[in-house]
């Protein structure tokens, strides 16, 4: 990491409380003394990198998951939506369709495959991405709403702030959630 | 009338499974004739939403009442929306549960009696 060279370093660990955030923030601060750097807090269930960094948050953007809304007038209860939902977020009963928004991953299969075009997608906010600065350092932190079960959409959105594609080649440090499950895979992917 | 009972094995002498969404079998019984059919629950190892899909499958079988050990909030919502009577807290064999039901000894469960993911055995490995 000589600076100016868009290297991405993810700090991860199968065990929580081992010092990931301390290492990630220390790395970011060390780099920021010489050149511009981005740090992403992808531990969106409890983002805490800013406890160490004290960056001032300047922008907050909502994160949405598109979830199905059933048009009861068009629905003929064929059950196709429940059949194609990989996450069991829809129950199709003989005279009623029930949506469980917290199980929905927002894949869009139900609305795409509904033969009656009876499903529209409505955005449901599940969290925010906050952007802050401290000198050469830009902090991007995802924050999942309390009680939401699914952190991956917030992590995905947080990572969209990596500016590798622009001329602004900065090194990127990613603070990853503990464990080895989906949030970790999404963060290091 | 058709009654669905969560069960550990595919026959009338099996034990009532204490879980709803994760029960390996459902025995669907006509309490008058004691004729039954079995429904295998293939979603037992799915990461989530099993109560919902099992409840929908049971509604699709034209069942009027469910006897089980426990019923979480999502399954409860689906079953009650379809007008299925829910009786949780049932144990013993499937046959005895049906007999108790016929004798009017079992009361409806007015609300979900366990939290979400109750029947999961691998809850420590977060399933996002």
Contacts of B43 in chain A (CB under 8 A): 88
Q: DSSP H helical segments within B2-72, as ranges?
A: 50-60
pLDDT tens-digit map of A107-161: 999 999 999 999 999 999 999 999 999 999 999 999 999 988 889 999 999 999 9
Residue A168: per-residue pLDDT: 63
A160 close to B (CB below 8 A): no
Q: Which of A15, A43, A91, A151 should be substituted to probe chain B, the one whose Cβ sees the most B Cβ atoms within 10 Å?
A: A91
Q: CA–CA separation, A181 vs A178, rounded Å?
A: 9
Chain-chain contact of B128 with A98 (C-beta, under 8 angstroms): no
7-36 in chain B: CB under 8 A from chain A: none
- pTM (whole model) above 0.80: no
Please report the ipTM that was assigned to this predicted complex.
0.78
Query: Which of A68-72, B9-13, B45-49 is predicted with the least confidence, judged by mean pLDDT?
Result: B45-49
Say what the pLDDT of residue A2 is: 43
For chains A and B, CB pairs below 8 A equal: 53
What is the pLDDT confidence band of residue B58, given thresholds at 50, 70 and 90? very high
For B108-124, how does the pLDDT look when each residue is reduced to its tens digit (9 = 90+)? 888 888 887 777 665 54
Distance from CA of B128 to the nearest CA of A (A): 6
DSSP state letters, B72-114: -HHHHHHHHHTT-EEE-S--SBHHHHHHHHHTT--PPP-S--S
What is the per-residue pLDDT for B109? 87
CA distances from A140 to A116, A160, A172 (A): 41, 10, 10
A151 touching chain B per CB within 8 A: yes
- What is the SS3 assignment for A127? strand
- pLDDT at A7 (0 to 100): 87
Does residue B62 sit at the A interface (CB-CB below 8 Å)?
no
Q: In Å, what is the CA distance from B125 to each residue of A14, B19, B23, B98, B99? A: 11, 19, 20, 36, 39
Whether residues B78 and A91 touch (CB distance < 8 A) is answered with yes
Cβ distance of B82 and A93 shorter than 8 Å: yes
Contact A88 B81 (CB under 8 A): no
What's the whole-number mean pLDDT along residues B26-44? 90
């Amino acid at each position: 990491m000589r600076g100016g060279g868009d290297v991405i370093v993810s700090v991860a660990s199968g065990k929580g409380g081992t010092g990931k955030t301390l290492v990630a923030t220390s790395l970011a601060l060390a780099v920021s003394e010489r050149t511009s750097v981005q740090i992403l807090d992808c531990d969106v269930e409890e983002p805490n990198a800013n406890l160490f960094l004290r960056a001032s948050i300047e922008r907050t953007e909502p994160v949405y998951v598109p979830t199905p809304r059933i048009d009861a007038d068009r629905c003929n209860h064929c059950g196709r939506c429940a059949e194609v939902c990989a996450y069991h977020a829809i129950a199709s009963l003989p005279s009623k369709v029930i949506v469980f928004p917290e199980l929905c991953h927002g894949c869009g299969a139900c609305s795409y495959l509904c033969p009656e075009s009876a499903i529209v997608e409505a955005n449901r906010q599940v969290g925010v991405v906050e952007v802050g600065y401290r000198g050469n350092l830009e902090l991007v932190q995802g924050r999942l709403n309390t009680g939401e079960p699914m952190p991956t959409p917030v992590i995905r959105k947080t990572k969209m702030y990596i500016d590798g594609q622009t001329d602004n080649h900065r090194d990127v440090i990613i603070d990853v959630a503990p464990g080895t499950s989906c949030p970790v895979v999404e963060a290091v992917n | 009338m058709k009654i669905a009972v969560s069960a550990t094995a595919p026959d009338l002498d099996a034990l009532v499974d204490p879980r709803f969404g994760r029960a390996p079998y459902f025995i669907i019984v006509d309490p008058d004739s004691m004729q039954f059919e079995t429904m295998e629950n293939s979603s037992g190892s799915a990461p989530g939403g099993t109560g919902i899909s099992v409840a929908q499958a049971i509604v699709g079988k034209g069942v009027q009442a469910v006897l089980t050990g426990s019923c979480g909030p999502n399954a409860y919502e689906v079953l009650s929306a379809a007008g299925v009577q829910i009786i949780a807290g049932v144990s013993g064999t499937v046959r005895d549960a049906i007999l108790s039901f016929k004798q009017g000894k079992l009361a409806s469960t007015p609300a979900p009696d366990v939290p979400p993911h109750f029947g999961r055995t691998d809850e420590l490995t977060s399933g996002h």
